[in-house]
Structure 1
Amino acid sequence: MDLQDQLKNLFPDHSTEVSENETYQKSEIWLQDDPIICKYEKRKGKPITILEGYTGATEDFKKLTKELKQKFSVGGSFKYDRIIIQGDYRDKIMTILKEKGFNVKRVGG
């Protein structure tokens, strides 16, 4: 008897199937057709990564900002419809955004 069978015996009412409502809740952020531009700059000698070009709601972009800052444990901000992350995290940010379903375009270097 494996773990799945034991759990079914303990919780017979629980279903492991994913309903349609749950799949919509997983992708809360609106995905756009145009690519998000990911670029690198240096300000006062320190590297920053800038994401711009999101045409959805600003609340979704703010959620994405918070998630990226927590993921990399770095500072950053959301200003003028742009995400500014301290440090050069272009490659990591691009892979995360591609996993979420966004089109990402790397600009500059």
Structure 2
Amino acid sequence: MDLQDQLKNLFPDHVPEEDPVENNVEEGIWMQEDPIICKYEKRKGKPITILEGYTGADEDFKKLAKELKTRLSVGGSFKNDSIIIQGDYRNQIMDILKEKGFKVKRVGG
């Protein structure tokens, strides 16, 4: 007897939801026509990836920064209307942003 059967025995009147709604970070993020610029720099000898050019609200850009850092398992910050990611992750970041529907332009290198 699996967990679903046990729950049905305990709560016979309960009707389960078919598809629970997942908390989607993409909801509410404003999509723009201009491309987001993805560039590579070295600061103090260490590589970083910088994303600039988002014209929406800062809160949306902060949500995007948090999701990128989580998916890539790296550190980073949001400063001066740009996202700074530690390391050279241009290809992965560009793939993630294209997946979400953003236009991305690679600058430098």
1:1-109, aligned counterparts within 5 Å?
14-15=17-18, 26-109=26-109
- Deviation of residue 27 (structure 1)? 3.2
Equivalent residue of 1:51, what SS?
strand
Q: Following superposition, which runs of at least 4 residues in structure 1 exceed 6 angstroms of deviation?
A: 10-13
Shift of 1:26: 4.8
- Residue deviations 1:39-75, cap 9 Å, x none? 0000011000000000000000000111111111111
User: Letter of the aligned partner of 2:75 in structure 1?
Assistant: G
Higher-Rg structure is 2
- For 2:76, give the aligned amino acid: G
The Cα shift of 1:12 comes to 6.3
% same residue = 74
Who is 1:7 aligned against? none
The size of the alignment, in residue pairs, is: 98
Runs of at least 5 residues in structure 2 that lack an aligned partner in the other structure? 1-7, 9-13
Counterpart CA distance in 2 for 1:14 and 1:79 is: 42
- The amino acid of 1:52's aligned partner reads E
Unaligned regions of 5+ residues in structure 1, if any? 1-9
RMSD of Structure 2 on Structure 1 (CA): 2.4
With the length of structure 2 as denominator, give the TM-score of the two structures: 0.78
Moved more, 25-34 or 44-53: 25-34
In structure 1, how many angstroms separate the alpha carbons of the residues matched to 2:104 and 2:77? 19
- The residue type paired with residue 85 of structure 1 is I
